[in-house]
Amino acid sequence: MKKPEINNAQRDFFKEIKLKYSSFHHLLKLRHLKWRHLKTKCDFKLICFKNSI
């Protein structure tokens, strides 16, 4: 019966970590998405530019 107790403790621990780092992770995600969006925009412009030549 010790295993569930350990799992509960681990779950609480991970919950705490998630709460602490979720905002930070969210920021990273946003930055990554922004960067990807910019990159695709640039790639699209390059393709259009190449096609126009």
Residue 16 has pLDDT above 80, yes or no: yes
pLDDT over 80 (residue 20):
no
Domain count, the chain: 1
Distances (CA, A) of 40 to 2, 22, 26: 51, 26, 21
Residue 8 belongs to domain spanning: 1-53
Query: Model-level pTM greater than 0.85?
Result: no
pLDDT at 50 over 70: yes
